[in-house]
Copies of this chain bind each other. A is one copy, B any other.
Amino acid sequence: MTQTGTAPAGDARARVERAALELFALRGFDAVTTEEVADAAGISRRTFFRHHPTKADAVWGDFARHVARLAELLRNTDPARPILAAVCRAYVDVNDYGPDDLPVLRQRMRLILTEPALQAHSQLRYAEIDRVVAEYVARRTGEAPTDLLPRLVGASTRAAAMTAFAVWLTDDGLSLREQLTRAFDELTEGFPSLRR
**Size class of the contact patch on chain A:** 35 or more
Partner of A167, one of B120, B141, B148, B166: B148
Q: Which residues A66-89 have CB closer than 8 A to chain B? A: 82-84
The yes or no answer to A163 lying at the interface (CB within 8 A) is yes
| A119 beta carbon closer than 8 Å to chain B | yes
> Is there an interface contact between B116 and A120, defined as CB atoms closer than 8 Å?
no
A122 at the interface (CB under 8 A from B): yes
Assembly stoichiometry (copies)? 2
| Inter-subunit contact B191/A188 (CB<8 Å) | yes
Within 8 A of B (CB), among A108-162: 116, 119-124, 127, 137, 141, 146-149, 151-153, 155-156, 158-160, 162
What chain B residues lie within 8 Å of A149 (beta carbons)?
Answer: 186, 191, 193-194
The secondary-structure label for the interface of chain A is helix
Whether the pair A170, B146 counts as a contact (CB closer than 8 A) is yes
- Which residues of A in the span 159-189 have a Cβ within 8 Å of any Cβ on B? 159-160, 162-164, 166-167, 170, 179, 182-183, 186-189
Do B188 and A141 touch (CB < 8 A)?
no
Q: Do residues B193 and A190 form an inter-chain contact, with CB atoms below 8 A?
A: no
- Could you pull out 23 A-B pairs where Cβ atoms are within 8 angstroms? A82-B195, A84-B191, A84-B194, A119-B123, A120-B121, A120-B123, A122-B123, A141-B193, A148-B167, A148-B179, A149-B186, A149-B193, A151-B163, A151-B167, A152-B183, A152-B186, A152-B187, A153-B191, A155-B159, A156-B159, A156-B163, A189-B190, A190-B190
List 9 additional contacts besides A148-B167, A151-B166; criterion CB under 8 Å.
A119-B123, A119-B127, A141-B194, A146-B167, A146-B170, A148-B183, A152-B183, A152-B186, A155-B160
